[in-house]
Amino acid sequence: MQKLLIKNIHTLHQVRENITTPIRGEAMKEVPVLHNAWLAIEDGIIVDYGNMEEFPGISDWKNLEVIDAENKNVFPCFVDAHTHLVFAGNREQEFVWRLQGMSYQEIAQRGGGILNSAQKLRETAEVELFELAQQRIRLLIKMGTGAIEIKSGYGLNTEAELKMLRIIKKLKEHFHIPIKSTFLGAHAIPSEYKNNKEKYIEIICNDMLPKIADEQLADFIDVFCEDGYFTAEETEYIIEKGIHYGLKGKIHAEQLSHSGGIEIGVKTKCISVDHLEYATDKDIQLLKNSTTIPVILPGAAYFLNLPPAPARQMIDNDLPLAIASDFNPGSSPSANMPMMMSLACVMNRLTPYEAYNAATINAAFAMDTPNVGWIGIGNFANFFITDKSVTPVTFAYHFAHPLIEQVFIMGKSIS
């Protein structure tokens, strides 16, 4: 057994007991902490913590590493519950076109957007995609992220969707952070089926899904419910098929217009609905009577210059909001979670404490890994060390500053 003790922690953040549901409404305004703390880890799992003044002492030194935090702070890692990090190339050209006045939809109609990424992905070998994805995950861990959800959806045919999902499966085996895999065959209509969407939906449901279930390649099913992509009815049909094959639902909902994705998400008991820029008061009421977690993606709203999602109203209505990066080459080419928190504060009017809870513990629930993103006994020891001056406010305040000094994954230092 490998043991690690971190002693002399100035402030241990996000310390909680017996958490079984995400934090909602008013409770999101607080982040519980322990001052002058120690933290004990065994085989990558948090086994105990406490105050230095009540430290019981060390009875067994065997395989024990002791780290003196020298009065620095410890935070659990961020959780990124929505990414598209397996992709080939980049879409810098589209970024420049958008700055010159073209809309995301106009670019998509010209074969840019998701279809552009699909073409690049199909042409790129699995080994190369795996290498690129590994590099991105290493970078994201350095930025303090300790759990990620990754979607397919740049394949858009059976072969390429399975290729993406097999890469995600290999990433799960390769990294010691929780990774969840989402099948997003319904991300766009591939050009081969642009005049026959029904046929593509049939392929998703009757060809891709059975194969994915057979190889156990996905945890979740997701649909881009949007004008020009998949309607609410089609979304419901595809999500239900995924549920039939044992997957939990997620929906890209109300991003560019109000398309009814939230209503379908609630109806089909999805684990989360994501984006939500065009969510209405009625949608907020629907979410209140559900277990579906609203996830905002402020990086995409910023990068596409969209109106901010009504996240303030969601928290004021007692919802358990989560924040994710949406890391992808088109609409959010950054996976920096502190930056996402800062955007959520400035654009969506969250308090920094709300943003911090949304990017850690609530995000963990949004990706069905409740044992990460907070300090609790039995949780994964994925955490990082900062200067003692850093609080949850600092991440949003000193936006994009490198505040993280050392990251630990499963109790091991990553350098």
Segment lying near Fe ion (by CB under 5 A), choices 63-71, 208-216, 321-329, 379-387? 321-329
Taking CB within 5 to 8 Å according to partner kind, which of Fe ion, ligand NIG, none is near residue 331? ligand NIG
* Owner of token pair 């979607």: 151
Restricted to residues 174-213, the positions that interact with Fe ion (CB under 5 A) are: none
Q: Which residue is nearest to Fe ion (CB)?
A: 326
- Minimum separation from the CB atom of position 363 to ligand NIG (A): 15
Taking CB within 5 to 8 Å according to partner kind, which of ligand NIG, Fe ion, none is near residue 117? ligand NIG
Given the complex with ligand NIG, which of 52 and 96 has the nearer CB atom? 96
Residue 254 in the binding site for Fe ion (CB under 5 A): no
Given the complex with Fe ion, which of 181 and 391 has the nearer CB atom? 181
* Owner of token pair 């809870």: 357
Q: Which residue is nearest to ligand NIG (CB)?
A: 330
**Helices (H) then strands (E): counts for the chain:** 16, 15
- Minimum separation from the CB atom of position 224 to ligand NIG (A): 5
- Minimum separation from the CB atom of position 308 to Fe ion (A): 16
Given the complex with ligand NIG, which of 117 and 181 has the nearer CB atom? 117
Question: How many positions of this chain bind Fe ion (CB under 5 A)?
Answer: 1
Given the complex with Fe ion, which of 103 and 389 has the nearer CB atom? 103
Taking CB within 5 to 8 Å according to partner kind, which of Fe ion, ligand NIG, none is near residue 339? none
Q: Per DSSP, which regions of 178-227 are E strands?
A: 179-186, 220-224
The tokens for 388 are 């003692």
Residue 80 in the binding site for Fe ion (CB under 5 A): no
Given the complex with Fe ion, which of 217 and 223 has the nearer CB atom? 223
Q: Give the residues lining the site for ligand NIG (CB under 6 A).
A: 84, 113-114, 117, 224, 252, 255, 300, 326, 328-331
Taking CB within 5 to 8 Å according to partner kind, which of ligand NIG, Fe ion, none is near residue 386? none
- Minimum separation from the CB atom of position 248 to ligand NIG (A): 18
- Minimum separation from the CB atom of position 304 to Fe ion (A): 11
CA 64/CA 275 separation, integer angstroms: 44
CA 145/CA 122 separation, integer angstroms: 28
34 forms beta bridges with 12
- Minimum separation from the CB atom of position 230 to Fe ion (A): 13
CA 184/CA 195 separation, integer angstroms: 20
Burial annotation 286-310 (CB, 10 A radius, 16+ → b, else e): bbeebebbbbbbbbbbbbbebebbb
Given the complex with Fe ion, which of 219 and 326 has the nearer CB atom? 326
For residue 213, how many C-alpha atoms fall within 13 Å in the half-sphere facing its CB? 16
R_g (Cα) of the chain, nearest Å: 21
CA 201/CA 206 separation, integer angstroms: 8
Q: Which value, to the nearest 10 degrees, does the dihedral of the CA atoms of residues 381, 385, 388, 389 take?
A: -110
- Candidates 328, 353, 324, 358; CA nearest to 340 is 324
CA 407/CA 393 separation, integer angstroms: 19
Q: Which 3 state secondary structure label does DSSP give 280? A: coil
Q: Which 3 state secondary structure label does DSSP give 275? A: strand
- Minimum separation from the CB atom of position 122 to ligand NIG (A): 14
Would you tell me how many other CB atoms lie within 10 Å of the CB of residue 224?
Answer: 23
- Minimum separation from the CB atom of position 200 to Fe ion (A): 19
**Which run of H or E residues covers position 233?**
helix 232-244
Given the complex with ligand NIG, which of 255 and 360 has the nearer CB atom? 255
Given the complex with ligand NIG, which of 330 and 392 has the nearer CB atom? 330
The tokens for 329 are 């080459």
Q: Which of 326, 335, 343, 372 binds Fe ion (CB under 5 A)?
A: 326
Given the complex with Fe ion, which of 80 and 326 has the nearer CB atom? 326
Taking CB within 5 to 8 Å according to partner kind, which of ligand NIG, Fe ion, none is near residue 255? ligand NIG
Site residues, Fe ion (CB under 5 A):
326
